[in-house]
Amino acid sequence: MTKKFMQSTAALLTLAVAGSVYGESRANLFHIKRNKNRNEVHYAVRYDEAACKPMGDEALYGYWLMLEKGPNVFEPIGRLERMAYGIQSQSMSGNDLLVKLKAFPDREIKVVFSKAGAGCKITPYIAINGQESVLKSISVFAEEGFIKPTVKYVDVSGTKGGAPVTERINR
């Protein structure tokens, strides 16, 4: 067996076991890209499909998609990395989940849960150019510093009415 096949199989087994242990559905919502390398931090939500609502006090969580190692290599966000990519807060407001990321605390993300036929539709919203838009990704451009990187700008990308929208935020 090839190394790539074994990594892909291990990743699928990890996801299958995690799903059976927790007994909930999961939905990937958005991700953060960086200019440092191709690895991405993805954010997903655990939810009860029948009730169409998030599960638990920490329903939204992040993990690494390690594209530098392969297309299906996943890793948890490390303890130190959580200071940058962790979740600052998450709380319920009616049926919506309100989230602030440590990497982007000045913009609240509203995760809306709505019934869609027999299933559940989950959509993350954020203000882009002052208008509520569907969040797709956040791209961070930073320069390496002596102690830590310095963020130069952040691009927030999504859609509004089906059309792509992007906002650049200079730091």
pLDDT tens for each residue of 105-137: 889 999 999 998 888 999 999 999 999 999 999
Mean pLDDT of the chain: 86
Asked whether residue 132 is assigned to any structural domain, the reply reads: no
Asked whether residue 113 is assigned to any structural domain, the reply reads: yes
- pLDDT tens across 138-171, in order? 999 999 888 878 889 999 999 999 999 999 999 8
61 is in which domain, residue-wise? 3-122
Q: H or E stretch including 125?
A: strand 119-128
Distance from C-alpha of 116 to C-alpha of 122, rounded to nearest angstrom: 9
Average pLDDT over residues 80-86: 90
Quote the number of domains for the chain: 1
- pLDDT band of 19, cuts 50, 70, 90: very low
Q: What is the pLDDT of residue 24?
A: 59
